[in-house]
Amino acid sequence: MIILIGLIWFNNQPSSNQPNTSPTNAPTLESSSRGLPSSTPQRQQATTRPRPTATAKPTTRPRQTAVPSKPTPRPTAQATRIPERDSAGLRYVAFGDLPIQAQETIELIEQDGPFPYSKDGAIFSNREQILPSKPRGYYREYTVETPGSADRGARRIVTGDNGELYYTDDHYASFRRVRR
């Protein structure tokens, strides 16, 4: 009898290759085909323990999936940097950095006068060839008052037909392009 129980027990053990898919309380095909009486004790689930298949601690670290990504661009001062010189190589000067008299002259130019000097609005010939080369009549000159000067002084605003503004404080020896 002990041998018979041992054989039944051995046959009901799941093999390491195949999982046991039959319920543990139901009679197996093998036990019913052998003609064993129904009074034969059946194996109960509570009396057997499943083999452990998972551990409390992971056996390997979970892999992180590599996701290709583009680096986030960082804003830089270079991206919004304003050039120091124009295409002709002339330095820029901000409107607000000009002497107040030069700012007032530009405002008069934008309002189309009235101008304090009769020569204001006259053609500037660009004989010094410091400004970009343009046809005669392209540039016009306007006086920037110089406090304490008995005459028109050395300061001028020169305009171009396309709206360019240039400032000189040394009577045409050098120019800076006005950035509005």
CA distance 52 to 89: 81
Burial-class residue 105 by CB neighbours within 10 Å (0-12, 13-18, 19+): buried
Give the separation between CA 28 and CA 8, rounded to whole angstroms: 10
> What DSSP character marks residue 177?
E
Confirm whether 141 is a catalytic residue. yes
From 128, 141, 145, 164, the catalytic residue: 141
Catalytic pick among 30, 104, 107, 171: 171
**Active-site annotation holds for 104:** no
Q: Are 139 and 160 in contact (CB under 8 A)?
A: yes
Catalytic residue positions, numbered: 141, 171
